[in-house]
Amino acid sequence: METARSLGGMRRSSKALLAVGVTAATLGGGYAWYRWLMRRQVTWQRILADNIPVHSAYWRARRELPGDILYIAIGDSAAQGIGASRPARSYVGVIAKRLEKLSGRSIRVINLGISGATLQTALEKELPRFARIKPALVADAIVTVSIGANDIAGWDPDRFAAQLDELFSRLPKHAIVADLPSFYFLPGERKAVAGNRILREAAARHRLRVVDLHDTMKHQGMRGVATQFAGDLFHPNDRGYDVWADAFMPAVVDRLEQVLEKLEARGEQRQGQGAGDAAGGSSESSPRSQSRASTNTSSA
């Protein structure tokens, strides 16, 4: 009897020790994984910081290329494509490629985004550059705006509201604005939700269309957290930027239809004028080449 009790006690002790051992190993493994993740994050932060001038140079060069349709982007490092495999895989580049495929026309891109930009940066640096683009070109352009995520770090709701209001007051009515992206976890997510309430109220006052970037990202769930971010755990990767582009596309397609209608109407008018000039012995270039030349005329 005593032997049985002793054996039973030994078994219970062994199970307890095993449980403690498994728990310790799990905690130890979890801690080791956490340390590896943090080291990897720091490494990726350095890598992506080194990529900033490369991406900026790409978009400066891209700005000079002509196109039939003008696409202007106001934003931050996400517009520049930090975290993507190459600059053209930013959401701006993805949208431009989709626009080209949908329209059958070439796209000129003016990417005004600045890595690290806050609302204050947009007001002080991006909007003055935007204002130098000829109004006639802006009137026929597709304009997207995604800014404010970097304001979460030094969160001040009153300042955020005031700066958003000023920004929105200086945008054309056809500009397409994204709400703040999902931060997935607290406390950033709580601030993003509060910021989006402010953003949507400001957009409604200025009659600007808002796209649901936050909800689009949040619907990705833990799969999005695991597979759609670069190694710094902040910027999207190629898959993440595809999701950003998906959020913009319904509004972008609606705007594209408006732009194409304008171009077609203008082309028909020019063709009519060309027929009249031809009767008088003069000639005109094609509407497509004229459109391309017009979008390449700007002081931006």
Q: Residue 2's pLDDT is what?
A: 45
- What are the pLDDT digits (tens) for 137-170? 999 999 999 999 999 999 999 999 999 999 999 9
> CA-CA distance, 62 to 111, in Å (whole number)?
8
Percent of the chain with pLDDT over 70: 72
Does residue 217 or residue 250 have the better pLDDT?
250
Convert the pLDDT of each residue in 202-214 to its tens digit. 999 999 999 999 9
Q: What is the pLDDT of residues 13-50, one digit of tens each?
A: 444 434 434 444 444 555 665 565 556 667 756 766 76
- Which residues lie closer than 8 Å to 85 by C-beta, 6 or more apart? 237, 238
| DSSP letters for 137-204 | HHHTSEEEEE--GGGSTT--HHHHHHHHHHHHHTS-TT-EEE-PPP--STTHHHHHHHHHHHHHHHHH
- As given in the structure block, the two tokens for residue 34 are 């956490």
Average pLDDT over residues 216-221: 86
pLDDT confidence of residue 9: 44
Please state, in angstroms and as integers, the Cα–Cα distance from residue 273 to each residue in 136, 280, 293, following that order: 21, 11, 18
Closest Cα to residue 228, out of 219, 220, 236? 236
For domain 45-259, the question of CATH label 3.40.50.1110 is answered with yes
What pLDDT score does 229 carry? 73
Residue 90 has pLDDT above 50, yes or no: yes
* Cα–Cα distance measured from residue 146 to residue 113, given in angstroms and rounded to the nearest whole number: 9
Count other C-beta atoms under 10 Å from residue 273's C-beta: 11
- Beta pairing class for 142-146 and 176-178: parallel
**Per-residue confidence (pLDDT) for residue 21, from 0 to 100:** 46
Would you call 21 helix, strand, or coil by DSSP? Answer: helix
pLDDT for res 183: 84
Mean of the pLDDT values across residues 101-119?
A: 97
pLDDT exceeds 90 at position 116: yes
What average pLDDT score do residues 96-122 get? 97
For residue 60, the model assigns a pLDDT of 95
**CA 289 from chain center: how many Å?**
30
286 pLDDT higher than 80: no
Helices (H), the chain: 2-63, 77-80, 91-103, 119-121, 127-131, 135-139, 157-169, 188-205, 213-218, 221-227, 238-279, 287-295
Whether 293 shows a pLDDT value over 70: the answer reads: no
- Token reading at 86: 């190459």
- What is the mean predicted confidence (pLDDT) over 211-231? 82
More confident residue, 78 or 26: 78
Mean pLDDT, to the nearest integer, of 64-80? 96
Mean pLDDT, residues 82-98 taken together? 95
Quick check: helix, strand or coil at residue 83?
A: coil
The three-class DSSP label of residue 67 is coil
Which tokens is 172 given?
């054309």
pTM of the model: 0.78
Q: What is the DSSP string of 272-284?
A: HHHHHHHHTT---
Give the pLDDT of residue 19: 45
Per-residue pLDDT at 223 = 79
